[in-house]
Amino acid sequence: MSAVAVKYPEIKALGAEVLSVSTDSRFTHKIWQETELSQMVPGGVPYPMLSDQGGRVGTAYGVYDEEAGVDIRGRFLIDPDGVIQAMEVLTPPVGRNVSELIRQLKAYQHNRATGEVLPSGWQPGKPTLKPGPDLAGKVWKVWKPENAF
């Protein structure tokens, strides 16, 4: 959460919004914000921290662990039409990658604007693929594996 908070201005500049959702109460969020998050990021987390007590939101997104009573950590990229375009769910030992979140956000926005397909590891300025009959069997001419890195 703190890494996302640091990159929040960049995410907002891309026209996206961040919502944090957990089964913790709003009071727990307030205490965590005041005692922990504000120590990592000046002013704490600048985006809403929402309470999902009972797991209704987590259930809808397939991340609620009913036995443990918690939402499993995940992130979802939802387009302006309300369609989930990407999701990542990780167990607690491994954190999510905010740079990858931003890369994917830029890639989905580029695809939405142009219809172009963005290959593995795509970054702005790297080759894209223009779907169509002329591309079939010729992707190798346009895209090389080294473009993924």
pTM for the structure as a whole: 0.89
Residue-range domain boundaries for the chain: 2-91
Locus of tokens 């809403």: 48
Residue-level pLDDT at 91: 86
- Helix 98-114 vs helix 2-13: angle between axes, to the nearest 10 degrees? 20
CA 61 → CA 10, 22, 97, 110, distances in Å?
Answer: 25, 12, 20, 25
Domain 2-91 has CATH 2.40.128.260: no
Mind listing the pLDDT tens digit of every residue in the chain (149 residues)? 999 999 999 999 999 999 999 999 999 999 999 999 999 999 999 999 999 999 999 999 999 999 999 999 999 999 999 999 999 999 889 989 999 999 999 999 999 999 999 999 999 999 999 988 888 898 988 889 998 98
